[in-house]
Amino acid sequence: MAATDPRWRPPADAWTRRDALRNGFGSFVALAGLGSLPRQAGSNTVTSAAVRARARSPFTPFRRDLPLPATLVPTRRTRHADIYERTVTEGLTEILPGFQTPIYGYDGVYPGATIRARSGRTVIVDQHNGLGFHTNVHLHGGHQPPRFDGHPMDLIDPGATFRYRYPNDQAGATLWYHDHAHGILHKTIYYGLAGLYLLEDDLERGLDLPRDEYEVPLLIQDRAFNRDGSLRYEENIDAGFLGDTILVNGAVAPRMRVKRRLYRLRLLNGSNARHYELRFGRGHRVHQIGGDGGLLERPITRRTLSLSAGERLDVLVDFSDFKPGTQVILRNIAGEGSTVAVMRFDVERGGGRDPARIPRRMAHFDPVPAPQAQRNWVLTFEPSARQWQINGKVWDATRVDCRPRLGTSELWQWINRSHMMHPMHIHGCQFRVVARSGSKLLRGDHGWKDIVRVDAGERVTVQPYITSHTGLYVFHCHMLEHSSIAGMMLQMEVTS
Ligand code: C2O
Ligand code: CU
Ligand code: CU
């Protein structure tokens, strides 16, 4: 079938309102944007006068409470499996106060409900396609067999249902699910087709980590809007889509009241292309306990959290470090203007006795067998063809680009000869970051990962451990425009 489904269209035809497009909100956002606010926000506290002056703009930050995605409820449980049914369909949601925004959503909801799974217990999702074009579901970071992985050419027809089966045969981790229909996923994800999948294991259960209301998922995405409140998408295969408004869990730079206790924040950068450098207040110390592939061996103290497209971070923040009444702004120091403020934590009085604590030791990593093969992947931009290439090639579903063996590890070197950073992602396995040409390993390189940032001009070596299943898996840049329409995706066949 064709790479791009010709039946694709944006939700509720908002796209066809040309005038809305032409007089888009661009300037409205700039006006409502933060001006100098976040720059001084290192002071942790915002004097609200500046904010109040703009209080009527739907883009005013810290105006809405942080929404929490619902937890998806199984329609049935058996001894070994939780069974879910869901339909991907159009919906309307209030992202900007006072506006109804057309979206695509799992069960019509954006962001999608969170699936909570347990290691060793199967999850089955009967996924119905209620859209007029193809879709599929990829469980990002999951070790499912290829037929359940959401290969970009393995699609669910409109009106059809496909049963995904996730063995969850891996360590607990912050995973996520999203559409992977080739040629359109950069738009379908943009219009809402993503959500969290939190996989928990016994190790994690045994630690006194914050839970329930003290464990908070933060799905960070940048967006832009038309004047009628609809989402505005502009295709850019070079930089990828970059919006001027930061949403967390589907709300514009929201606020959250926190007690003076330890919180576990599970961050996901679900943006198309934007990279974040996050700080709490002035750079308050937080404790990273996990990354893409699950818990680390021990917590790492961090002041700045780098999060490229598709990456996850699991961090503990101790809000008892702050005086009651403090407003701690989560800032993106890589942003400017309206893309600096991500959200705000308002520290309340009290907090009570806190049973949670920062663990000293967590996961135990078994040694990885010595690598059996070495591969180089050269990343370049080909301006005449407007293509992002890997070893001079672009995506071709009929070609297999490498054949690693199940149960082995390899050394893969990403050699970035282009002018920008690329977050490189491998399906069906996790890897360790082994070396960087330009620097020592970054703080965010520790533990098991499935996405690694490769800076312009840099060479980064990773060691994938191919432990899941045989068959076809893709690997690609997670800047969605790069892999969905500009070619930056290859595939491997894991052999036995
Ligand atoms: Cu989120 Cu192919 O990946
Ligand atoms: Cu993936
Ligand atoms: Cu890229």
- For ligand 1, atom 1: residue with the closest CA: 140
pLDDT for the residue 35 = 35
- For ligand 1, what atom is nearest to the CA of residue 310? 1
pLDDT for the residue 351 = 80
- For ligand 1, what atom is nearest to the CA of residue 475? 2
- What sign does the CA torsion over 143, 145, 146, 151 have? negative
**CB 64 near ligand 1, within 6 Å:** no
pLDDT for the residue 57 = 81
List, in sequence order, the alpha helices (H) in 61-179: none
**CB 186 near ligand 1, within 6 Å:** no
39-41-47 Cα angle (round to 5): 120
pLDDT for the residue 44 = 32
**CB 141 near ligand 1, within 6 Å:** no
> Nearest 10 degrees: CA dihedral of 446, 448, 451, 455?
30
CA distances from 187 to 200, 231, 270, 422 (A): 30, 11, 13, 19
Q: Provide the b/e sequence for 390-399 (b: ≥16 CB within 10 Å).
A: beebbbebee
Q: CB neighbours of 456 closer than 8 A, spacing ≥ 6?
A: 416, 418, 419, 420, 421
Roughly how many angstroms between the first and final C-alpha of the chain, as a whole number? Answer: 29
- For ligand 1, what atom is nearest to the CA of residue 152? 2
Helix (H, G, I), strand (E, B) or coil at 480: helix
CA distance 114 to 176: 9
**CB 275 near ligand 1, within 6 Å:** no
- For ligand 1, what atom is nearest to the CA of residue 476? 2
- For ligand 1, what atom is nearest to the CA of residue 427? 2
- For ligand 1, atom 3: residue with the closest CA: 140
pTM of the model: 0.92
pLDDT for the residue 118 = 98
CA nearest to 454, candidates 437, 429, 474, 466: 437
CA distance 326 to 319: 10
**CB 335 near ligand 1, within 6 Å:** no
The Å distance, Cα 473 to ligand 1 centre, comes to 11
**CB 182 near ligand 1, within 6 Å:** no
The Å distance, Cα 61 to ligand 3 centre, comes to 30
**CB 422 near ligand 1, within 6 Å:** no
* Rounded mean pLDDT for each run of 10 residues along the chain, 496 residues in total: 76 53 41 36 36 64 97 98 98 94 97 98 98 98 98 97 98 98 98 98 97 97 94 95 97 98 98 98 97 98 98 98 97 97 95 92 95 98 96 98 98 98 97 95 97 98 97 98 98 98
pLDDT for the residue 260 = 97
**CB 344 near ligand 1, within 6 Å:** no
**CB 178 near ligand 1, within 6 Å:** yes
